[in-house]
Amino acid sequence: MKRRLDGLIWIGLGVSLLLALFLSPFASSSPDGLEKVAETRGFLEKGEGWKFWKYAPFAEYAIPWIKNEKVSTALSGLIGTLAIFFIAMGIGKLIKRSTAQKALFLMILSFSLSSPAFALRPLTTDDAYTVERGAFQLEAGVDTTRQDNHDREYNPGLTLTYGLLEQLDLGIGSGYLFFDPKEGKRENGLGDTELKLKYRPIDEKDWIPSLAISGMLKIPTASKSKGLGSGQTDFGINAIATKKIAERWIVHLNLGYTFIGENGVNNEMNYSLGGQFILTDKWALVGEVVRINNLNGRHGDDPLSGLIGTYYSIKENLILDAGVEIGMNKAAPDFRITAGFTWLFKP
Amino acid sequence: MHIPDGFLSNGINAATFAISVGACTYGVRRVNRNFGEKEVPLMGVTAAFIFAAQMINFPIAGGTSGHFLGAVFSSVLMGPWASLLIMTIVLIVQCLGFADGGLTALGSNIFNMGIIGGLGGYGIFFILYHLSGKSRKGFFFALAVSSWLSIVAGASAAAIELAVSGTSPLKVALPAMAGIHALIGIGEAIITTTAVSLILKTRPDLVISFAKKGALHEKTA
Confidence at A10, pLDDT banded by 50, 70, 90: confident
Mean pLDDT computed over B93-105: 89
* CATH code of the domain in which B63 resides: 1.10.1760.20
Angle A331-A153-A252 from CA coordinates, rounded to 5°? 60
Residue A153 — left, alpha, or beta (φ > 0 → left; ψ -120 to 50 → alpha)?
Answer: beta
What is the rounded distance in angstroms from the CA atom of residue A106 to the CA atom of residue A78?
Answer: 28
Residue B219 domain flag: no
B85 interfacial to chain A (CB closer than 8 Å): yes
Of B41, B65, B176, the CB nearest to A5: B41
Angle A95-A98-A100 from CA coordinates, rounded to 5°? 120
Residue B16 domain flag: yes
Q: What is the fold, at CATH topology level, of the domain defined by A110-345? A: Porin (2.40.160)
pLDDT digit string, tens, across residues B74-98: 999 999 999 999 999 999 999 988 9
A113: pLDDT strictly greater than 50: no
Among chain A residues, the shortest Cα distance to B86 is held by A88
Confidence at A97, pLDDT banded by 50, 70, 90: low
- pLDDT-above-90 percentage for chain B: 68
Of B65, B173, B203, the CB nearest to A37: B173
Query: Taking a C-beta distance cutoff of 8 angstroms, is the pair A126, A119 a contact?
Result: yes
pLDDT at A110: 35
Residue B52 domain flag: yes
- For an interface test with A, the pick among B8, B34, B51, B83 (most A C-beta atoms closer than 10 Å) comes out as B51
Total domains present in chain B? 1
Residue B2 domain flag: no
* Beta-bridge mates of residue A99: none
Confidence at B202, pLDDT banded by 50, 70, 90: confident
pLDDT digit string, tens, across residues A57-77: 888 888 888 888 889 999 999
Query: Taking a C-beta distance cutoff of 8 angstroms, is the pair B57, A29 a contact?
Result: yes
pLDDT at B215: 36
pLDDT digit string, tens, across residues A292-310: 988 877 777 888 899 999 9
What is the rounded distance in angstroms from the CA atom of residue B2 to the CA atom of residue A53?
Answer: 15
pLDDT at A142: 92
B62: pLDDT strictly greater than 60: yes
Q: What sign for the dihedral angle of Cα B44, B49, B50, B54?
A: positive
Q: Tell if the CB–CB gap between A87 and B58 is shorter than 8 Å.
A: no
Query: Taking a C-beta distance cutoff of 8 angstroms, is the pair B101, B88 a contact?
Result: no
First to last CA, chain B: 41
Range A311-318, long-range pairs (CB < 8 A, 24+ positions): A311/A121, A311/A122, A311/A283, A311/A284, A311/A286, A311/A342, A312/A282, A312/A283, A313/A282, A313/A283, A314/A282, A317/A343, A317/A344, A317/A345, A318/A342, A318/A343, A318/A344
ipTM: 0.90
User: What would the DSSP string read from start to end of chain B?
Assistant: --PPTTSS-HHHHHHHHHHHHHHHHHHHHHHHHT--TTHHHHHHHHHHHHHHHHT--EEETTTEEE----HHHHHHHH-HHHHHHHHHHHHHHHHHHH--S-STTHHHHIIIIIIIIIIIHHHHHHHHHHHTTS-HHHHHHHHHHHHHHHHHHHHHHHHHHHHHTTSS-HHHHHHHHHHHHHHHHHHHHHHHHHHHHHHHHH-GGG-HHHHTSGGGPPP--
Please identify among residues 10-49 of chain B the ones whose CB lies closer than 8 Å to any CB of chain A. 28, 31-32, 35-36, 38-49
Residue B91 domain flag: yes
Residue B57 domain flag: yes
B91 interfacial to chain A (CB closer than 8 Å): no
pLDDT at A277: 86
Query: Taking a C-beta distance cutoff of 8 angstroms, is the pair A334, A146 a contact?
Result: yes
Mean pLDDT computed over A225-250: 86
Residue B4 domain flag: no
Residue A134 — left, alpha, or beta (φ > 0 → left; ψ -120 to 50 → alpha)?
Answer: left
Query: Taking a C-beta distance cutoff of 8 angstroms, is the pair B66, A34 a contact?
Result: no
Q: Tell if the CB–CB gap between A5 and B42 is shorter than 8 Å.
A: yes
Lowest-pLDDT choice from A52-56, A110-114, B75-79, B133-137: A110-114
Per-domain boundaries in chain A:
6-96, 110-345
Of B49, B177, B221, the CB nearest to A37: B177
Most confident of A106-115, A305-314, B205-214: A305-314
Residue-range definition of the domain harbouring residue B45: 10-212
